[in-house]
Amino acid sequence: MAIVRPLTAGEWRTWRDMRLRALADAPDAFGATLADESRRTDDTWQQRLSAAAVSGRDCPLVAEVDGAAVGLTWAKASEDGALVSLYQVWVAPESRGRGIAAALLRHATDWSAARGARHIELGVTTGDTPAVRLYRRLGFIETGVQEALRDGSPLVQQIMRLAL
């Protein structure tokens, strides 16, 4: 069974390693690229996670099985707190199909509801993919808003939203 918990500021190496693995594994799923993210210095990774720990608006989450990190997501609340955006959703290939992403999203949903958010939103590359099926299964609905995944990419992401 997977445990889902917030990443602490000191765990920036875990976050960095997971994030770089995710970008190498699923380049079409994320707006960021492996080339850009792997150029970041250790200081930058450390500072981003330290800033999140004190922002009051960030919830970086890791899923672990037997003490090993196998999944990731990052929830970030808007300034007024009404909307939470979800980023970086990824589960290691060897751990997929066991409800780990669903557990990560449940934790993020509980965190969002507890702080009074009204909606959760995310962008997902269009297609009949495990990611789109996952979000639909958990109640997310396509908003109709579509945009390029990143500048110059033919890939399109759609915005999906869950009402809390």
Ligand X SMILES: CC(C)(COP(=O)(O)OP(=O)(O)OC[C@H]1O[C@@H](n2cnc3c(N)ncnc32)[C@H](O)[C@@H]1OP(=O)(O)O)[C@@H](O)C(=O)NCCC(=O)NCCS
User: Could you say whether residue 101 binds ligand X (CB under 6 A)?
Assistant: yes
User: Could you say whether residue 70 binds ligand X (CB under 6 A)?
Assistant: no
User: Could you say whether residue 32 binds ligand X (CB under 6 A)?
Assistant: no
* Amino acid code (one letter) for 130: P
**Of 5, 42, 130, 150, the one binding ligand X by CB under 6 A:** 130
| Gyration radius of the chain over CA positions | 15
**Contact at 8 Å (CB) between 153 and 117?**
no
For 144-164, the three-class secondary structure string (H helix, E strand, C coil) is: EEEEECCCCCCCEEEEEEEEC
User: Could you say whether residue 62 binds ligand X (CB under 6 A)?
Assistant: no
Region from 35-43, 94-102, 106-114, 140-148 binding ligand X, contact rule CB under 6 A = 94-102
Nearer to ligand X, 47 or 87 (CB): 87
**Of 52, 120, 124, 162, the one binding ligand X by CB under 6 A:** 124
User: Could you say whether residue 127 binds ligand X (CB under 6 A)?
Assistant: no
Largest Cα span, the chain: 41
Region from 12-20, 43-51, 52-60, 130-138 binding ligand X, contact rule CB under 6 A = 130-138
**Contact at 8 Å (CB) between 86 and 120?**
yes
Binding residue count for ligand X, defined by CB under 6 A: 18
**Contact at 8 Å (CB) between 88 and 20?**
no
User: Could you say whether residue 97 binds ligand X (CB under 6 A)?
Assistant: yes
DSSP state of 38: T
